[in-house]
Structures are given as structure tokens and as C-alpha cells.
Amino acid sequence: MLELLKKTYPHRMSPNSPGLDAVVAILREELPLVVHEYEGGLEHNGWRVPVEWEPQKAEIRKNGKVIYDGMAHPLGVIGYSQSFKGKVSREELQKHLFSTKKWPNDLVYHCDLYYKVGRKNWGFCAPYHWIQQLPKGTYEVELVCRRGKGTMKVADYFIQGESPETIVLNAHSCHAGQANDDVAGMVVAVEVMKRLAKRKSNRYSYRLIVAPEHFGTVFYLARLPEKTRKTFKFGMFLEMLGNDNRIALQESFTGQAEIDLAAHHVLKHSQAEYHSGPFRSIVGNDETVWEAPGYEIPTISLSRFPYPEYHTSRDTAAIIHEDKLEQAAQAVLGIIDCLETNRPMIRKFTGLIALSNPKYDLYISQADPSIRPTIPEEQRRWNRLMDYIPRYFDGKTTVLDIARTHDLPYPQVLEYVRRFEKKGLIEFAGAAPKAARRVPERVAE
Ligand SMILES: [Zn+2]
């Protein structure tokens, strides 16, 4: 993942640019993608696809000598800057130089013009200290930004599952020179898709959408046939997953979708330090698009936000750790595994089963309560689960419901109920949860 990140993030990406095209070409070497293209100027609900944009020359000169070259770093020219050529005073020049005091020797990511339809400006990003020390006098600016007929690209990779119901993974691809935001999310999503594609079969279908933030998903969804859109069951926005910070789970709009419950449970039992917040309370991305009225696709977001290098030239591979990316991929796959296997169960017996009878061998014992005065907390939970579980095979209660109620790791609870299935005591209901909610009486006895 780190190798892929290193060759991807240095490109000069913007929502419609040769830099984005280069990133899509790199992704194409990883996965057999479909690429959707949208012409600059296209409108939907007031959103307008930016025209192709590429800075070509960005010099600030004093006395004929180049004192700043905005082409030296992908953040050196503000996004969608106009071209400008002329002589300006120091004061005038400083109005067109953008920086952050927090990182006085570094560049800030300036994307304001992407989203302000019709607003025009030209400018450079430069270190705060450098801007402050500029001597009085006249400066010569030569800023050439090409606007072309290229298209905005949305990369789309699909894995067909047993069900057309689809879980979407989404990452954005429009931040020039930014490693964690969001090439890190992109490489985690690519890795997860590669691992899912290798599996013999998946219950759900999966779709990876790598697209410029907001613009990409707005136009992708607007152009998508309604029939396809209706198959989208859940979404996960993946972003900023490589830095050294705990995982943040941002809930879907309702916070109550099955994917919210699965994500909370899986993270609680696998990532001791994770934290969470409601929709849009941690970090804002395309979940607003997936969750927009009429679409309403429950979409969670996983990140390691905040981090100090956010939206600066310090967001490089130097702050990304392969083990953090791997941990994030494991978290995504853990949530997916839960959704893949979460079903209600139907009992095929009546009355109380003697779990400890070797015929069943379903009694979990780590300590005998009659001879050990202290019973470990986890054993207490298993004891209680064994008392409750016969009533859960009601065709409604799912494996995740049980794991949550008893605060036990999902994979272990799943393994335990599978042992009931092997003994012929229960069957898992249906192929999909909705179809599965049968009335238990029909199959009892
Ligand atoms: Zn960002």
C-alpha cells in the first residue's frame, strides 16, 4: 500500500486535470477499472464540473531574477488560479500569496476556488516566513494556467456478489501532493477490493469509486441508472488512514444502520482506542452526496483525523505507516465480514438443550464457578450468552444482535452459532436479511 501511495500522491491532482488522469492511469494498473468521464461545465443541482486546469508556468521575479517558482511543488499555485502576467507592488503581490502560520516554512493546500462557482482569482501558495521577509519594491509575475477540454474522471471497479445489493467504498482523488488526504484512503480501498476479488464468493457486491471530492460522486450518481443506484445498500468513505493516530468512525446520517452497528462493534473489539461521532461531526466528505435526499445510502466514514500536517505540504509519505494502512484495511474487512455473515437463525428444536452433553459439545467452560470463586468477566459474558442463546434462534435476532447484547467479539459469536448449525439445531435464515425474516413458528419442531 505504501509503495502505491508513494507513486500516486506527488501528482498535481485537481477535479479535472492531467494530474488526476495520471492517478487514474496508476489505479488502472492495479485494478480493471471502468472510467466515467464528465465534461467541464456540466451542471447538476447547481454543481458545475470544473474545466480542465493545469498550471504551466508560475514565476515571481525581482529585478529579472526568479525568486519563486510555483511549479516546484504541486501546491505552489492555488487550485484553479487564473493566469496573470504583470508588474505588482509587494503589497499587491502579498494579497495573492497564501500561507499558514501554523507551518511557517511549508505550503498550504488552497482549494477554495474549486467550490466557488464563478469566483476568479490568481495566486501562489508560499511559506509564511518567506512572504513576511519580501523586501519593498516591484515584482514581476508570470502565471500561466491552461484551461482545456479534458474531462473529469471517476474510477469505478465492481465485484459481482451473490446479491446485487452493493457496498460502496469511496475515496477522493483531487488533492494535489497530499499523501494522507486522500491517497491513503485510496490505497486502503484498492487493497480491500483486491482481497475481496480473491475470495471464492461474496454475499454482497462491492464497488470502489475513486473520484474528485463532491464533484465526482455528484455527477456519478446523477448519471447512474436508477436501477443500479437502488442496489447501493451501504457506503464507506475511507480517508486519512495512514498517519499515527487512532481510528475515527463517523456514523451514517441516522447512526442506526446495520453498517453503523457493525462498525462500532468490530472497532470496539479490534481497535482498542477508536473513537466515534455522529454524521459530519468528525470530517466532511462525500457522505453528504451518498446520503443526499432520494439516495439516502447509509454511509459511514473511517479516518485517522485529526493530524497536524492536514492540508499542508507536510502531508507526505513521511507521515504514513504501512502498519496503520494494514490496520485500517483489517478494520474495513472486519466490518465487511460482519455484514457478509450477519443473519438471523431459526431453531429446529424445542425445550432446553444440555449443552455439555458430548453429543452437542456446546458448553464453553474456562472456569468452573463451583470451585473458582472469581470468574473472569469474559467467561461471565459467555455464561450469560449460553443462558440466553436458545431464545435468540427466533428468525429475527441476528448474530450481530447477540454479539452486541453480550459484548463479545463477533467472529467468536459467529463461530459459536455455527457449531449449533453443525449439530443440526439451527439453520441460518435466507440469503439476504430482508427475505430471511420468516415467522419462526413455521419451522419450529
Ligand atoms: Zn481535504
Q: What is the pLDDT of residues 254-290, one digit of tens each?
A: 999 999 999 999 999 998 799 999 999 999 999 999 9
Please report the pLDDT score of residue 127 as a whole number: 98
CA of 242 to the centre of ligand 1 (A): 14
Residue 366: pLDDT band with limits 50, 70, 90: low
CA nearest 120: which of 88, 76, 147, 82? 82
Q: What percent of the chain lies above the pLDDT cut of 90? A: 91
Q: Which three cell numbers stand for residue 128?
A: 509564511
CA of 118 to the centre of ligand 1 (A): 21
CA of 28 to the centre of ligand 1 (A): 23
Measured between alpha carbons, how far is 347 from 433 in angstroms, rounded to an integer? 16
Helix (H, G, I), strand (E, B) or coil at 287: helix
Pick from 45-54, 341-350, 364-373: least confident:
364-373
Mean pLDDT of the 190-204 span: 97
CA of 410 to the centre of ligand 1 (A): 33
CA of 210 to the centre of ligand 1 (A): 14
Contact 347, 425 (CB under 8 A): yes
CA of 170 to the centre of ligand 1 (A): 14
What is the bridge-based pairing of β-strands 97-98 and 124-125? Answer: parallel
| pLDDT over threshold 80, residue 389 | yes
Mean pLDDT of the 18-42 span: 98
Measured between alpha carbons, how far is 149 from 436 in angstroms, rounded to an integer? 51
CA of 287 to the centre of ligand 1 (A): 14
| pLDDT over threshold 50, residue 439 | no
Q: What percent of the chain lies above the pLDDT cut of 70? A: 95
CA of 345 to the centre of ligand 1 (A): 43
| pLDDT over threshold 50, residue 238 | yes
- DSSP character string of 4-20: HHHHHTTS---SSSHHH
Residue 382: pLDDT band with limits 50, 70, 90: very high
Helix (H, G, I), strand (E, B) or coil at 201: coil
CA of 404 to the centre of ligand 1 (A): 34
Q: Which three cell numbers stand for residue 94?
A: 502579498
CA of 84 to the centre of ligand 1 (A): 27
| pLDDT over threshold 50, residue 433 | no
Mean pLDDT of the 325-336 span: 98
Mean pLDDT of the 284-306 span: 98
Residue 434: pLDDT band with limits 50, 70, 90: very low
CA of 175 to the centre of ligand 1 (A): 7
Measured between alpha carbons, how far is 385 from 403 in angstroms, rounded to an integer? 9
CA nearest 39: which of 31, 29, 21, 51? 51
CA of 178 to the centre of ligand 1 (A): 8
Residue 178: pLDDT band with limits 50, 70, 90: very high
Measured between alpha carbons, how far is 139 from 145 in angstroms, rounded to an integer? 19
CA of 310 to the centre of ligand 1 (A): 7
| pLDDT over threshold 70, residue 328 | yes
Measured between alpha carbons, how far is 287 from 214 in angstroms, rounded to an integer? 9
| pLDDT over threshold 90, residue 385 | yes
CA of 179 to the centre of ligand 1 (A): 10
Please report the pLDDT score of residue 437 as a whole number: 34
Residue 117: pLDDT band with limits 50, 70, 90: confident
CA of 311 to the centre of ligand 1 (A): 6
| pLDDT over threshold 70, residue 213 | yes
Phi and psi (nearest 5°) for 87? -100, 135
Mean pLDDT of the 338-354 span: 97
Measured between alpha carbons, how far is 99 from 102 in angstroms, rounded to an integer? 9
Measured between alpha carbons, how far is 47 from 57 in angstroms, rounded to an integer? 29
CA of 181 to the centre of ligand 1 (A): 6
More confident residue, 180 or 441: 180
CA of 409 to the centre of ligand 1 (A): 34
Residue 17 CB neighbours (<10 A): 28
CA of 151 to the centre of ligand 1 (A): 22
| pLDDT over threshold 70, residue 367 | no
| pLDDT over threshold 90, residue 377 | no
| pLDDT over threshold 70, residue 317 | yes
Measured between alpha carbons, how far is 336 from 196 in angstroms, rounded to an integer? 10
| pLDDT over threshold 90, residue 365 | no
CA of 432 to the centre of ligand 1 (A): 36
| pLDDT over threshold 60, residue 444 | no
| pLDDT over threshold 90, residue 298 | yes
Measured between alpha carbons, how far is 186 from 13 in angstroms, rounded to an integer? 14
| pLDDT over threshold 90, residue 77 | yes
Residue 376: pLDDT band with limits 50, 70, 90: confident
CA of 48 to the centre of ligand 1 (A): 19
Measured between alpha carbons, how far is 377 from 339 in angstroms, rounded to an integer? 27
More confident residue, 369 or 342: 342
CA of 238 to the centre of ligand 1 (A): 12
CA of 239 to the centre of ligand 1 (A): 9
Pick from 70-74, 123-127, 431-435: least confident:
431-435
Q: Position of cell 507513486?
A: 7
Global pTM reads: 0.94
Provide the mean pLDDT of the chain: 94
More confident residue, 93 or 369: 93
Mean pLDDT of the 105-126 span: 94
